[in-house]
Every structure is written in structure tokens, then in C-alpha cells.
Amino acid sequence: MKKGCIIWIIVGVVLGLIVLGLVSWGTRAYNQMVSLQEGVTGQWGNVETQYQRRADLIPNFVNTVKGAAAFEQETLTQVIEARAKATQVTVDPANMTAENLQDFQAAQGDLSSALSRLMVVVERYPELKATQNFRDLQVELEGTENRISTERRKFNEVAQSMNTYIKRFPQNIIAGMFGFTARPYFESMEGAEIAPEVTF
């Protein structure tokens, strides 16, 4: 065999190995992005589950309050309206943007504010606070608020993992080619730096 032919064979083998390595790396990077994206989607489902749990508790809570006291109708109406609005705002995790997450968070924040106002009004009714049903629902709501906080934190963690991975070079090339985009984070609401004073 001629020396020139051997060189071309070696060059061909080297180029083939390089292409094979790039394809292998691209496949691994793509699969990792899919896994991270599915992690974000799964964690978003956990967040929604806890918000839904809270929304499901509110009608029982409102009925308990309404049934136990000649209650201020305006406060109850605000809670019911805020709940309705919060359950109407949804986010598709596959097309999540900072704007639609902010809208979702604002609707949930309005519901939290309405519930806080309701709790302040409840303070005027010690006989209501003494009922077992009210105390049970109060514990359920408090536990759900803690779960919401935990799931939001976990969501931010998995979103950060995905965002970091797809923004690094050279993964950002694969991410751009296949449409993987960064996910927004839950942020604290305005005024969140001031601890609320809610006594139960």
C-alpha cells in the first residue's frame, strides 16, 4: 500500500472517531437535558398539588367560619374570589415563562393575603377558635403552607440545575438546537421581607 493511502485511512479513522465522539457527547447532553426538563416538570406537579390542596381546604374553612359566627361577608367573599382566581391561573411547565409564573404567583399571593385578612377577623371570635373543626382545618392549612414553601424551594433547585446545565458551553449549543430554554424561579413576593404576624 502506498504511503499516501495509509495517511488518508488514518485521517479518515481519526475523523470518524471525532465524529463518533461528538455524536456520543451530543446524545448524552441531549438525554441529560431531557432528564432535567422532566425533573422540572415533575417538581412543578408537586408545587401545583400543594396549591390545589390549599384550594380544596378553603371551602371547608370558609363554611366552618360562616357557620360558627355571624361573620363579615366581605372578608369571606374576598377569600372565595381570590380562590377562584388562583385556581384559574395555570402554567404549562413545558412553556413556562417568567411572566406566566409571575401571574401564577401573584394569584396565589392574593389568596394568601385574603386568608391572612380572614385570620385577623377570626381573632374577634374566640368561640370560633375554640371549635375542634376550626382548629383541625387551621392545622391543615398551616401544614399545607409549609408544604407549598418546601415544594417551591425544591422547584427552584431543579430549575437551577437545568438552567445551569443548558447555559454551560458546549451544552448551550445542543440546548439551542433542540429548543431547551431556561426555567424561571419562584421569587419572594413584595413585602415578604417583613414577617407576617398571624396568631392562631
Assign residue 199 a region: left if phi > 0, alpha if psi is -120 to 50, beta otherwise? beta
The single residue listed with the C-alpha cell 404549562 is 92
Give, rounded to a whole angstrom, the gap between the first and last alpha carbons of the chain. 90
**Residue 52 backbone dihedrals phi, psi, to 5 degrees:** -65, -40
Instruction: Write down the pTM of the prediction.
Output: 0.81
Say if 152 falls within a structural domain.
Answer: yes
How many domains does the structure of the chain reveal? 1
* Chain position carrying cell 504511503: 3
In the predicted model, is pLDDT for residue 135 greater than 70?
yes
pLDDT of residue 198: 45
Q: What does the pLDDT look like over 2-54, one tens digit per residue?
A: 777 888 888 888 899 999 989 999 999 999 999 999 999 999 999 999 999 99
Q: Is 133 a member of any domain?
A: yes
**Cα(93)–Cα(55) distance, rounded to whole angstroms?**
20
* CATH assignment at residue 132: 1.20.1440.20
Task: Find the domain containing 75 and state its range.
Answer: 3-178
Residue 114 lies in a domain: yes
For 42-94, how does the pLDDT look when each residue is reduced to its tens digit (9 = 90+)? 999 999 999 999 999 999 888 888 766 566 778 888 899 999 999 999 999 88
Residue 189: inside a domain: no
